[in-house]
Structure 1
Amino acid sequence: MAYKDYYDVLGVSRGASDADIKSAYRKLAKQFHPDKNQGDEKSADKFKEVGEAYAVLSDPEKRKVYDQYGHTGQVPPGYGGGGGFQGGDFAGFDPGQFSDFFQGLFGRGGGGGGFRNPAGQQVNLEDLLGGLGGTGSGRRFVQNVEGELQVTLEEAFSGSDEVINVDGKRLSLRVPAGTRDGARLRLAGQGPGGGDVLLTIRVLEDARFDLDGDHLTTTVDVPAPVAALGGDVKVQTLSGGSGQLSIPAGSSSGRRMRLRGQGWPRKDGTRGDLYVRLNITVPPHLSDEEKELYRRLRDLQH
């Protein structure tokens, strides 16, 4: 496999801060997310590559090892190639081999027996390099496996059933409705050697909705005549449904209105609110009758 420079993949410098790395990753993950580029294999490959890079550079220990050995094509003494982590040191190590190992060990199952976002599932590199035990030719994990599970904002809102692969074993789990970014899930005893699988949930950004605390914010287009005279517009909710919003006469762009109880699920069973930002629009193409009406309105302003 060809060598990959994970800093180049994310478009950041080697001295980039954690915040810069996270910002670059979120931007690229949003740009190449499979849900927004369905059927585009190049975007899917780029999304995986971005996930691989973030998996290493976002973790201080993994980044330290990569900075010391990965970008030079070397690995620490005692970790050989070919048949896995055997004895003996060697040169010419390709850090992309870590990516293949990560994906084979810890992928998220998708439809048709394939993987969904496999590079988003991160195995703790310290466990890989220092958590191997056993004697003889066989090796096994004796420590917990840590990873990240990426879900969309809609999946985190409504909850979702996921399938992941850990060391060749398919595991099912439920992401509860209302799960927050950074929440931790534990699959006890399901890791290699009887260890636990510890998952950190990462909620991807959504171009349609912003989450602030328990409240969501979205933008809805309102035709100029409706804004001037008042009327109803349809608002899409994150649950996949829609609601009617009554627009008061004389409304202007930027005005915020509220749909109560349409926000983020709370632990007590209630929900926050959905705030709707109005965006007043004018048709790009007007009929002759519409043009005449707008001319009359314009002339009334003088």
Structure 2
Amino acid sequence: MAYKDYYDVLGVSRGASDADIKTAYRKLAKQYHPDKNQGDEKSAERFKEIGEAYAVLNDPEKRKLYDQYGHSGQVPPGAYPGGAGGAQGADFGGFDPSQFSDFFQGLFGQAGRRGGGFAGAGGFPGGAGVNLEDLLGGGIGGAGQGRRFVQNVEGELQVTLQEAFGGSDEVINVDGKRLSLRVPAGTRDGARLRLAGQGPGGGDVLLTIRVLEDARFDLDGDNLSTSIDVPAPVAALGGDVKVQTIGGAAGNLTVPPGSSGGRRMRLRGQGWPKKDGTRGDLYVRLNVTVPAQPSDEEKELYRKLRELQDK
């Protein structure tokens, strides 16, 4: 696949603010979300590109490195511990995808959606393609001297908001070793998981969980928020509408008569899991809608309504 500039992917300028980047991501993620484009491989690939671009440009350090090395044409020696850079002659002029992608997948841990880059404790943001023996300077095995380096390694694991909510089973690769782990339900962004004794030489694997932003739900403390389209007649006269919760079930929301667009309503106990076993709330914003192509009967009813309002 041809290389695409991350700024172009999100449709923002290189001087875009963090808020602009976040807004662009939300808009595009909502448009290309798999739930709205089931079976559309192009939309799925676009959604993946959008998430990858946002993961880099939303992180100040990653964005700085991307701006510096992604457009300078040559990565200087030592810029990327583990061998990447001028020492390997990694020329990124013209954004050759076979070189550029490998570099940033290593540098930013972008091994697919999951990330999964590892580095020695206190080291750099490593990548899935980096050999831990290179990171340790040949320390594993002591360059044939029979010594064993016990080393803790650190990395990040990306999960969706739904996976963080309900928990998920994951498989990661550390130094060629496949490790299984369970992300607990209710995990929050920045949470740390430890796989004791699973690192090189019996060290620990330390994982930082990164929860991806969701196009449909926002998490604020223990509460979630979302929006729902409500037909104008229901908003005017009142009625029940279905609201998709983060757990997948459809909750029932009773809209009072005379509700206007932008009104926020609450579904109790449909938010994020708390430590005490209860859950926060789900706040629903009402978007009042009218038919894009009203039928003749609907047009006539709207005309009558307009006449009543003009009197």
Same fold (TM over 0.5): yes
Q: Are 1:185 and 1:201, in contact at CA under 8 Å, matched by a contact in 2?
A: yes
- Match among 147, 159, 165 for residue 155 of structure 2: 147
- Residue in structure 1 matched with residue 143 of structure 2 by the alignment: 136
CA–CA separation in structure 1 for the residues paired with 2:48 and 2:194:
29
Counterpart for residue 121 of structure 1: 116
Q: 1:75 aligns with which of 55, 74, 77?
A: 77
**203-212 or 133-142, larger mean C-alpha shift:** 133-142
Matches within 5 A, 1:231-246: 231-246=239-254
Instruction: Summarize the Cα distance change of 1:189–1:35 in structure 2 as closer, same or farther, 3 Å threshold.
Output: farther
Change (3 A) 1:168 1:264: same
Distance 2:41 2:278 in 1: 38
Specify whether residues 123 and 255 from structure 1 end up closer, same or farther in structure 2 by C-alpha distance, changes over 3 A only: same
For residue 184 of structure 1, the aligned residue among 168, 172, 192 is: 192
Distance 1:8 1:284 in 2: 31
Distance 1:143 1:171 in 2: 16
TM-score, with normalisation over the residues of structure 2?
A: 0.70
**C-alpha deviation, 1:296, in angstroms:** 1.1
Q: Which runs of 5+ in 1 are unaligned?
A: 109-115
| Alpha-carbon distance between aligned partners in 2 of 1:299 and 1:156, rounded to the nearest angstrom | 52
1:180 Cα deviation after fit: 0.7
* Cα shift readout 1:247-302 (whole Å, capped 9, x = no counterpart): 11111111111111011101111000111111111111222222111111111112
The correspondence of residues 34-73 of structure 1 with structure 2, limited to 5 A, is 36=34, 39-40=41-42, 43=46, 46=49, 50=53, 58=61, 72-73=74-75
Matched residues in 2 for 1:32 and 1:56: separation? 18
Q: 1:256 to 1:49 in 2, by over 3 A?
A: closer
CA–CA distance in 1 between the matches of 2:113 and 2:149?
A: 24
Residue 247 in structure 1 maps to residue 242 in structure 2: no
- The answer to whether the 8 A contact 2:188-2:209 is kept is yes
Give the alignment of 1:200-219 within 5 angstroms. 200-219=208-227
CA distance in 1, matches of 2:302, 2:270: 36
Amino acid aligned to 2:118: V
**Kept in 2: contact 1:29–1:51 (CA 8 A):** no
1:58 maps to a residue whose letter is: E
Tell me the alpha carbon deviations over residues 101-126 of structure 1, each in whole angstroms, 9 at most, x when there is no partner. Answer: 679xx887xxxxxxx525x2222354
1:264 paired with 2:272, answer yes
Query: SS of the counterpart of 2:225?
Result: strand
| Total equivalences in the alignment | 276
Identity %: 59
- Could you tell me which residue of structure 2 aligns to residue 279 of structure 1? 287
In 1: Cα distance, 2:6 partner to 2:295 partner: 53
Find the aligned partners of 1:55 and 1:247 in 2 and give their Cα distance: 37
* 1:221 Cα deviation from its structure 2 partner: 1.2
Q: TM-score, normalised by structure 1?
A: 0.72
Contact 1:52-1:99 at 8 Å conserved across structures: no
Give the 3-state SS of the residue equivalent to 2:300 in structure 1.
helix
> Partners of 1:192 and 1:30 in 2: how far apart?
42
Structure 2 residue runs of 5 or longer lacking an equivalent are: 92-98, 127-131
Q: CA contact under 8 A between 2:26 and 2:215: conserved in structure 1?
A: no
Distance 2:144 2:23 in 1: 41
Shift of 1:200: 0.9
Report the Cα offset of residue 39 of structure 1.
2.6
Contact 2:52–2:110 (Cα < 8 Å) also in 1: no
CA-based RMSD: 4.3
Mapped partners of 1:142, 1:5: distance in 2: 40
Cα distance 1:72–1:5, how it changes in 2: closer, same or farther (>3 A)?
farther
* Residues 1:230 and 1:99: Cα distance change in structure 2 (over 3 Å): closer
Contact 1:9–1:49 (Cα < 8 Å) also in 2: no
Query: Are the counterparts in 1 of residues 7 and 53 from structure 2 also a CA contact under 8 Å?
Result: no
Deviates more, 1:195-204 or 1:93-102: 93-102
Q: Is the 8 A contact 1:26 1:205 kept in 2?
A: no
Q: Does 1:288 align with 2:296?
A: yes
Task: Look up the equivalent residue of 1:73 and give its one-letter code.
Answer: V
Worse overlay, 89-98 or 4-13: 4-13
Partner of residue 181 from structure 2, selected from 173, 188, 193: 173
Instruction: Report the CA distance shift for 1:29/1:194 in structure 2 as closer, same or farther (over 3 A).
Output: farther
Equivalent residue of 2:41, what SS?
Answer: coil
